[in-house]
Amino acid sequence: MQPPTLWDWETGQKVVLASIERPENCAWVEEPTVSPDGERVAVLASLEAGGFTALVNGEPWENSFDKVWQPRFSPDGRFTAIVQRDGMWTVAVDGQPWEENFDYVWNTQFSARGDVVAACIQSGGEYGVCADGQPWENLFANGSQPTLTADGKSAALVVQTASLKPADLDAFQAGVFSVAVNGQAWDATFVNCWTPEFDAQGAHVAAQVRTTLYDYTIAVDGRIWSESYDCMWEPRFNPATGKVVAPVRAKGAWGLAQDGQIIWEPVFAQCWHQVISQDGRNIAAIVAPAFGEFTVAVNAKPWSIRFPEVTDLVIGRGGERVAALGNKENAEWRVLVDGRTWPGVWDMAWRPVIGPDGAHVAVKVEKNGRQSLLVDGRPYPREFDRLCDPVFSPDGAKLLIRAIDKGACVRIVADVAQA
């Protein structure tokens, strides 16, 4: 598949597949997955004759397998799934399995462009990552929370560096967890490591660590900040400066710290899911100025609107737009953009999508079982059975709508101004 600039951005609708119904030779088909460019729709299928395969635009893969799961399109449009044959697992990309097989495979990951496909592997009780069929040389006693660099050249994984006897409190508290990058564990080990995260260049990794049962801090490439905190959440690299920003809890309240220095005073009952603009100048986070009252703070200044819950915070590339969702006990969903609430209350809403130039915001919403879009707060004039997240064209002028409706998979390109 081509990069987004070369996708078909001609305004109009086309039917990608007229019927996603089960074909005669299939016992059942699973939920459809649509490619990023909307040109392909895939389902996993159980064959009447036995075994499983995938149907992509209705065409079966040439191979079938004993089991198939985790259907995912790579950003470059290749359809991947985890497949099992003769008790061994691997990844199949457009139906072609990797040559290497493993005792288990899960958690498929992609590089930003989609040219690298990676997954977690377990082989003989040892854990690691396999990228494009190449497993790590070093495997570990356990591995979880994989992450890939944007270019897919490096992978990081939280790993266990020594085995633990059952209920061995001393050994655990001495610290047997670390982060491995491309199979090499950091020299330092910790009681726990969580949420490793690469910087924009893929050169450094930051993770939350617990150095004792009580002390939380951030380790960057295995070296910890000089400060530790009562609690913290996942770190993010500032894409412009390379500094690491993480929510921290100090003196009973939450704020943000950067490289071990407080940058947002800890005054919130909660502070998490921080996002940073590409120029590094704007930081937004979901915060609770009071217990049970959530909103968004931009550069430490909370919006005046409050909700029992706020989720799905996003920031535009330039930082000029900040959007999130508010809800009340998983109902009454509202869209929040730049401190204001869009009109309308929804049974469900999904993460807002901000256009590349920050000029427009589109959000998938659902009411009474029908899904639609809001574009800059206006309802799109049509509803669907199911929608994928909307995608803006690289120039921000068009919107790609990928939908399943009345049993068909359709691809619509709309002018944002008229959507």
Partner 1 sequence: MGIQDRLIEDVGLRRGVSRLTPEKIETVVRSVMASEAGARLKAYSETCMRCGMCAKGCHFALSHPDDPSYTPAAKVAQTMGVLLKTGGRVDPGTFYGIAQLAYTECNLCKRCVHYCPIGIDTGFIMSMVRRICHKLGVTPQYIQDTAHSHSTTFNQMWVKDDEWIDTLQWQEDEARDEFPGLRIPLDKEGAEIYYSVIAPEPKFRTQLIYQAAAIFNAAGVDWTMPSQPGWDNSDMCMFTGDFEMMGRLKRRHFESA
Candidates 54-62, 163-171, 298-306, 351-359 — which segment interacts with partner 1 by CB under 8 A?
163-171
Query: What is the 3 state secondary structure string of 9-71?
Result: CCCEEEEEECCCCCCCCEEEECCCEECCCCCCEEEEEEECCCCEEEEECCEECCCCECEEEEE
- Among 230, 357, 376, 405, which residue sits at the site for partner 1 (rule: CB under 8 A)? 230
Q: What is the DSSP letter of 396?
A: S
- Among 62, 86, 99, 170, which residue sits at the site for partner 1 (rule: CB under 8 A)? 170
- Among 231, 262, 267, 300, which residue sits at the site for partner 1 (rule: CB under 8 A)? 231
Distance, in Å, from the CA atom of 272 to the CA atom of 330, rounded to the nearest integer, reads 19
Among 266, 360, 359, 361, CA closest to 312: 361
- Residues touching partner 1: how many (CB under 8 A)? 41
Distance, in Å, from the CA atom of 119 to the CA atom of 133, rounded to the nearest integer, reads 9
- Among 98, 140, 177, 384, which residue sits at the site for partner 1 (rule: CB under 8 A)? 177
Q: Is 31 in the site for partner 1 (CB under 8 A)?
A: yes
Measured in degrees and rounded to the nearest 5, phi and psi for residue 115 equal -75, -20
List the structure tokens of 44.
């996993």
Measured in degrees and rounded to the nearest 5, phi and psi for residue 6 equal -100, 5
Q: Is 213 in the site for partner 1 (CB under 8 A)?
A: yes
Tell me the closest approach of the beta carbon of residue 143 to partner 1, in angstroms: 8
Distance, in Å, from the CA atom of 205 to the CA atom of 410, rounded to the nearest integer, reads 40
Q: Is 124 in the site for partner 1 (CB under 8 A)?
A: no
Per-residue binding string, partner 1, 368-397, x by CB under 8 A, is ------------------x-----------
Q: Is 46 in the site for partner 1 (CB under 8 A)?
A: yes
Radius of gyration of the chain (CA): 23
Q: Is 27 in the site for partner 1 (CB under 8 A)?
A: yes
Tell me the closest approach of the beta carbon of residue 182 to partner 1, in angstroms: 19
Distance, in Å, from the CA atom of 151 to the CA atom of 138, rounded to the nearest integer, reads 22
Q: Is 120 in the site for partner 1 (CB under 8 A)?
A: yes
Per-residue binding string, partner 1, 323-352, x by CB under 8 A, is -------------------------x----
Among 317, 316, 319, 268, CA closest to 295: 268
Q: Which residues bind partner 1 (CB under 8 A)?
A: 27-28, 30-31, 46, 67, 69-70, 103-104, 106-107, 120, 122, 127, 142-144, 160, 166-167, 169-170, 172-173, 177, 191-192, 194, 210, 213-214, 216, 230-231, 249, 252, 272, 348, 366, 386
